[in-house]
Amino acid sequence: MGRPPCCDKVGIKKGPWTPEEDIILVSYVQQHGPGNWGSVPSKTGLLRCSKSCRLRWTNYLRPGIKRGNFTPHEEGMIVHLQALLDFPLRWAAIASYLPQRTDNDIKNYWNTHLKKKLKKIQPATELPQTAQDSSKSLNIETLAAGSSSTATATYASSTENISRLLQGWMRSSPSAAKIHSGAENGGDDLISNEDFESILSNVAWEKSTCGNDGKFPEMKQNVNKNNPPFSSLEKWLLDESFAGQVEEMNQMMELPTIFY
């Protein structure tokens, strides 16, 4: 059974999005909020299928998305979580801990960068499946050391274009604007002011659209779907009271201090 893919419809445009299409989509979401993607093409006149619109918004236009270089910390988180999370939806789960990154971004980065590095490190063995397995051979510092950054000149990769597109959006959100103007980065070397603002604006946006419990919808979903492994993992990663355990485990795993 199963229905035919929506993108098979005649007249549906495929391929890279143009700035004009992005502006139309951003304007629509500004007015109506994300969701109800099925009606987006008809209401905006975009010749795109609903899935394409949702994907474009989720992976690229959504406020707070950070593009480009993955920091050693992010890289370490991905490797660590990828090793720990051996269940379906793991990319979404990992993304929920890196709210500035999309699951697609993380998946791409894993497939194009980290996989290769792991293969170099573990040429004769398979990729890690569990924390225990990976702990014996992973060296995150080696992984992070070779990370490179390539800025694409294409429109789709230009954060400047997107900032311009989203300026109105940021200004239109009172909470985001308040945080934007008042927040101070507490000197964290790993997160710049700009990045910090992106996180805050993202959280503000998520709260405004998804409730006030402070959790990202992906996180909520995954916690529900994947308990118990996720609840303990959340504590392990996020609860300061687990810091000692983390440090102990990192030492055991020979992980760098980025996890401390």
Partner DNA sequence: AAAGATCTCAACCGCCAGTAG
Partner DNA sequence: CCTACTGGCGGTTGAGATCTT
Binding site for DNA (CB under 7 A): 1-3, 5-7, 13-17, 35-38, 48, 50-52, 54-56, 58-60, 67, 88-93, 103-105, 107-109, 111-113, 116, 148, 150-154, 156-157, 217-218, 221, 225
The answer to whether the beta carbons of residues 217 and 210 sit under 8 Å apart is yes
- Tell me the closest approach of the beta carbon of residue 21 to DNA, in angstroms: 8
Type of residue found at 178 = K
Question: Which one, 28 or 60, has the nearer CB to DNA?
Answer: 60
- Tell me the closest approach of the beta carbon of residue 28 to DNA, in angstroms: 13
Question: Which one, 36 or 257, has the nearer CB to DNA?
Answer: 36
Question: Which one, 150 or 241, has the nearer CB to DNA?
Answer: 150
Residue 98, CA distances (Å) to 2, 29, 148, 237 in order: 34, 23, 19, 12
Question: Which one, 97 or 250, has the nearer CB to DNA?
Answer: 97
Place of tokens 């390539």: 150
52: CB partners within 8 A, 6+ apart: 7, 12, 14
- Tell me the closest approach of the beta carbon of residue 4 to DNA, in angstroms: 8
- Tell me the closest approach of the beta carbon of residue 60 to DNA, in angstroms: 5
Report long-range pairs for 219-223 (Cβ below 8 Å, ≥24 apart): 219/96, 219/97, 221/92, 222/89, 222/92, 222/93, 222/96
Question: Which one, 31 or 154, has the nearer CB to DNA?
Answer: 154
- Tell me the closest approach of the beta carbon of residue 7 to DNA, in angstroms: 3
Using alpha carbons, select from 38, 45, 59, 49 the residue that is nearest to residue 15: 49
